[in-house]
Amino acid sequence: MYRIVRKKALNPTVSLMEIEAPLIARKAEPGQFIIFRAKEDSERVPLTIADFDRDKGTVTIIYQIVGGSTMELDTLQEGDSLQDFVGPLGRPSETEGLKKVAVVGGGVGCAIAYPLAKKLSSLGCEVDSVIGFRNKDLVILEEAFRTVSRELRVMTDDGSYGTKGLVTNALETLIQEGNQYDEVIAIGPVVMMKFVCQLTKQYGIKTIVSMNPIMIDGTGMCGGCRLTVGGETKFACVDGPDFDGHLVDFDEAMHRGTMYREFESHAREASCNLLNKEG
Amino acid sequence: MAVQRNMNPQRCPMPVQDPMVRRRNFDEVALGYTYEMAVEEARRCLNCPNKPCTTACPVSINIPAFIERVAHEDMEGAYQIIAQSSSLPAVCGRVCPQERQCESKCVRGKKGESVAIGRLERFVADYHREHSTEQPDQPAPNGHKVAIIGAGPSGLTAAGDLAKLGYEVTIYEALHVAGGVLVYGIPEFRLPKMIVRKEIDNLKAIGVKIETNMVIGKILTVDELFEMGNEAVYIGSGAGLPRFMNIPGESLKGVYSANEYLTRINLMKAYQKGSKTPIKHSKKVAVVGGGNVAMDAARSAMRMGAEEVSIVYRRGMEELPARKEEVEHAQEEGVIFRTLSNPVEVIGDEKGEVCGLKCVEMELGEPDESGRRSPIVKPNSEFVLDVDTMIMAIGTSPNPLIRSTTPGLTVNKRGCIVTDGESGLTSREGVYAGGDAVTGAATVILAMGAGKAAAKAIDEYLRSQK
């Protein structure tokens, strides 16, 4: 069960895994997520589905190594199996009736934005994409986005590739060029989604964001993934992970995201030391 | 052969770990009767012919009969009597509120203390586990398939009963281990996980299949379970989404639902040294609520090393819904009870961490619909508790995953699945439900009772189809 049929490094810290999970592949839709446990005593970690192949019965995830759990996942190789793989969880992204959309992806968030851009494009929706990275080495999925987008803008923070600047700069340019979007879909770091929403609010363009908070069970039981959306408490796992970005309290989400930061960096150090010893 | 009755009005006390020691470890609090204690206590039972205790047991265990076997030192015989009615005796003996059920009806309780039925049940189940080498018989298959959603107390009970009748039973469990609240909620010191595992192994030994990581409503729907050849489905999916109070500051770092806090400690094993599970190492903790879950959270926080743990409850000590024994254990371990207090705001510091809990004092007014005196805010009574962690244990609301993906399934306005009384039949033919998914948050034994009743109803339904 949950065998890794393909593993590929996309950049120095981001990798792709295609995993055998036929029942999940049969149901998965863009916007939904899975929860994995790499090994017997590992944490449960949510990851949004990057792709799925119903015929092959596989689900693809793309992950960035950020802490102990993703390091542990990364020690698994093709042919190995994950301990647990649960899904598809959360509600699928809504794509119906959209004619023209701007998809904005930041960093590893592009992995989640891409399947959505692909689905929209296949439904006949006109997709403009803006993808942003810290530098040239971290760029992922550029070609994939190009094939499903009418217009693609690649941004880097340091200007080492594409255009120097933030995704919001490129998005604002597209809007000012006269593009009338039904919706903007922004997926990436919380701070990026916050600034995209600030911009689109000015232009009155509805914006959907995909939230990825701390969670345990992913079925509504623990309440750890709660967010404030439009003044109400929502659970990302059952009410989301997509939300109307103009209603999300991003500052609060950023605060809550740092709850275990110290723990994560300890775990990362511990894992590194372990790997160094093994190496 | 008659045995000498023990006419002591007092029950044999339960040996327990010393409170000052146990408040810092996760080992089981109650150590269990010795063989001699069990026999002595069993001889207090008068073996009443009308069995008032049995009528007050949600799964109708033949209590006088099993206690009589203990009095005769036939422990395996006693176990077989319990096993006819209960799939999880070692669990029930530990977590049932016996004082409100079987023991409340005990004739010995009229002039003295009732027979310690729960402790005897626990002894018999533990004795069997430690001494019996017999493998349970595999029932002859009857060729019919039933699917069960949720491997908690309700689903496990229904599965056990149906498997014993020869049904091919598969339980679909959302988490990575079976047990439901018995593994994610109830802490190790009250219910060791090894015991839950053994009870589940017993079910597997009689042919029950358990598929973990299966969130029904997502990976498969109830309708698909029928398409897969199941002829009936039992929904025992549990309570669901934790409630919050909707007061300012609930999103601060250090505010947990009891579900999250207990899940991190129990299911994800944060109680073990070297665990990878992140959890806040709190100094001063407030647990809001007065039920068993609140007691579990407070006592767990103490064991995780907190210096001060308070229960904050809006009514008085008399109104606490938790089992009396749990309240007493918590008090012995140093948990402070701030009753007649209600939080109005969680206060945070500049880093977004909890640094206080603003509360108001309450007083009790006239009884409300529930018959309990309703709490009223005392004017100008605000005070601030110095805490760094707040745990909300104020109940749950039903999970939407199954109701939203099962057409024709009727739910009430609170979102609980509506069933036809005792049988657990829902508005859909062949679909039964029970436990917290139907009642909202309740007890393990009520969930088991519902699972048992539904198993019987499912068997009758499928027989009528043949």
Indicate the pLDDT class of residue B421, thresholds 50, 70 and 90.
Answer: confident
Examine the pLDDT at A270 and tell me if it is beyond 70: no
Q: At what angle do helices B63-71 and B117-131 cross, to 10 degrees?
A: 60
Give residue B95's pLDDT: 87
Provide the pLDDT for residue A279.
33
pLDDT band of residue B69 (cuts 50, 70, 90) is: very high
With CA atoms as reference, report the closest residue to A154 among B293, A21, B59, A145. A145
Q: Are B243 and B397 in contact (CB under 8 A)?
A: yes
3-state secondary structure of B207: coil
Q: Are strands B209-211 and B383-385 parallel, antiparallel or unpaired?
A: unpaired
Q: Measured between CB atoms, which of A43, A233, A255 is closest to B276?
A: A43
- For a pLDDT cut of 70, what percent of chain B falls above it? 100
Kindly state the average pLDDT of the residues A135-155: 95
Asked, as a colleague might, if the bond just before A213 is cis with ω within 30 of 0, I would say no
Residues of A in contact with B257 (CB under 8 A): 222-224
Rounded to an integer, what distance in angstroms lies between the CA atom of residue A233 and that of residue A249? 10
Please determine, for residue B342, whether its predicted confidence score (pLDDT) is greater than 60: yes
Is pLDDT of A269 > 70? no
pLDDT tens-digit series, residues B455-464? 999 999 999 9
pLDDT one-digit tens code per residue, B216-231: 999 999 999 999 999 9
Q: Would the CB atoms of A83 and B176 count as touching at under 8 Å? A: yes
Confidence at residue B458, expressed as pLDDT on a 0 to 100 scale: 97
Model pTM? 0.91
> Using CB atoms, which residue from B260, B269, B280 is nearest to A223?
B260
Residue of B nearest to A40 (CA): B176
Per-residue model confidence as pLDDT tens digits over A70-79: 999 999 999 9
Using CA atoms, how far apart are residues A67 and A48, in angstroms rounded to an integer? 17
Q: Which candidate in A24, A40, A85, A221 is best for mutational testing of the B interface (most B CBs within 10 A)?
A: A221
Tokens (6 digits) for B10: 């007092």
What mean pLDDT do residues B411-435 have? 93
CB contact under 8 A, B399 and A258: no
Contact call for residues B377 and B362 (beta carbons, < 8 A): yes
Cα–Cα distances (Å) from A32 to A27, A52, A60, A239, A261, in that order, read: 10, 11, 12, 11, 25
3-class secondary structure, B277: coil
Q: Which of residues 375-434 of B touch A (CB under 8 A)?
A: 399-401
What is the pLDDT at residue B369? 79
Which residue is associated with the tokens 């992970």? A241
* Angstrom distance (rounded) from CA B130 to CA B132: 6
Q: What is the dihedral of CA B97, B13, B182, B205, to 10 degrees?
A: -110
Q: Tell me, what amino acid is at B222?
A: V
In this predicted structure, what is the pLDDT of residue A242?
A: 96
What is the band of B424 on the pLDDT scale with cuts at 50, 70, 90? very high
User: Quick one: tokens of B98?
Assistant: 């016996």
pLDDT of residue A277: 44
Q: Which residue has the tokens 């409170």?
A: B19
- For B113, which DSSP code? P
Instruction: Give yes or no for residue A278 having a pLDDT over 50.
Output: no
Segment B79-98 mean pLDDT: 90
Q: Is B276 touching A (CB cutoff 8 A)?
A: yes
Q: Is the pLDDT higher at B368 or at A28?
A: A28
Average pLDDT, integer, range B30-34: 96
Q: Which chain B residues are Cβ-neighbours of A267 within 8 angstroms? A: 276, 278
Q: What is the mean pLDDT of residues B420-446?
A: 91
Q: How confident is the model at residue B466 (pLDDT cuts 50, 70, 90)?
A: low
Say yes or no to pLDDT of A262 above 80: no
Q: What are A207's strand-pairing partners?
A: A184
Angle at A196 between CA A192 and CA A202, to 5 degrees: 150
Residue B288 above 90 pLDDT?
yes
Question: How many other C-beta atoms can be found within 10 angstroms of the C-beta atom of residue B129?
Answer: 17
Q: Give the model's pLDDT for residue B442.
A: 86
Residue A274 has pLDDT above 60, yes or no: no
Q: Indicate the pLDDT class of residue B157, thresholds 50, 70 and 90.
A: very high
In the prediction, which pLDDT does B133 show?
81
* B42, pLDDT greater than 50: yes
Res. A208: pLDDT tops 90: yes
DSSP state for residue A75 in the 8-state scheme: T
| Confidence band, pLDDT 50/70/90 cuts, at residue A272 | low
**Mean pLDDT throughout B111-129?**
96
For residue B346, what are the β-bridge partners? B357
Residue A17 clears pLDDT 50, i.e. is over it: yes
pLDDT at position A265: 65
What is the SS3 assignment for A52-70? EECCCCEEEEEEECCCHHH
CA angle (B241, B245, B251) in 5-degree steps: 80
- Residues B122-149 pLDDT 10s: 999 999 999 988 777 788 999 999 999 9
| Distance (Å, whole) CA A199 – CA A205 | 9
**Chain center to CA of A265:** 21
State the Cα–Cα distance between residues A218 and A233, nearest whole angstrom. Answer: 16
For A93-139, the pLDDT digits (tens) are 999 999 999 999 999 999 989 999 999 999 999 999 999 999 999 99
A252 touches chain B (CB under 8 A): yes
Q: What is the pLDDT of residue B441?
A: 83
Q: pLDDT averaged over chain B?
A: 93
Contact: B218, A23; criterion CB under 8 Å: no
